[in-house]
Structure 1
């Protein structure tokens, strides 16, 4: 379902991704963890070309994408396979909540307004925000806005859902509600790649965990292997520091 081979990305002379390789089966969840600046978000954004690597191959769904030989049509095909949930919600401030969801359905997928509105309301109902359809983003809490961001991405029915630190901008009271929704989506068999600093959540929701540092995958495997019994000393140090911080 997802295959990444020999992926490299750099800003100037600074190499951000160094020969990234991993595979993921359809209907599974991969959690990417690691310290700030390790390349996690750059890897995630590269999967639908919000960042442009300079070398490597991405296979996503039925689209094989060679970074060194691509065009705009290839990018469009790749992006049709995936949808992104951002840290800062990225909602249109001058659109209602319903319009934020339906715009992509109308202009991206050619739905009629009536059909898009019906689908948008259906998804808002799933996250208990049907009554906020005509509100604007500024009238919603951070947690509510992120729930809208998630259902906006889901509404286009992507093959892969990409989530970049979906709880990092939220207050503690909002975090669990958003995590519950993501777990519910995972239980439905949705293919997801999640960058997260919520280690316990990564353990509970994922089938595969990737630990990154300094632009490299240090180790990957099941949550039990990587989180409970890491083979790398670097992974052990990272996780022990998190445990110390939580316990402080």
Structure 2
């Protein structure tokens, strides 16, 4: 299993789109930090906001990289070759899941490096809240990784990468609309009433998109971090179970 993970990780590291994604996250992190510094006089900007901005971007970047890489392993015959040499389907699935998770951590670290190194100089030192949110992000990232692994391994089609990116965008837009709806004052005609209000809150708490939106710290809906972490782990567990069942039954040519 370790050799399989090491081999998949090495392939991911050599894969050009992953390197481009890493370069993008590093440049984006630096530019975003400088932008926050430039706008500090006009916004209530702190190191936590500047550091957590990457969460939404990572949703899209990882959707493109993870699903494309998994589809590439399918189309190149890599998965079939692993099974031929004696690897079990469970090992193949878990290896890809762990590798994509590690890849996501690397991309997040490349963004956070400028924020953690230069942030204290430009925006002041980060508080304990930042590290609590980053700890919660580990669970939220796992939920995204589990979903993208399920999609990439069970739907080995070229159009799935585009569909995955579009789906992530639509779901994020939906969560943003829900959060905006919750922010409408009670006295306004468009105020979201119960039970729809409860549905909005529940969806934002249990969906990875809603959790990512809350982790930034600027959304109206702000649940306890432990709630988001538990929800993220729960979604990840469900996605892994469904993905494993589907992959075990899948006809791999």
Same fold (TM over 0.5): no
Judging by fraction of residues, say which structure has more strand: 1
TM bin, normalised by shorter chain, reads: under 0.3
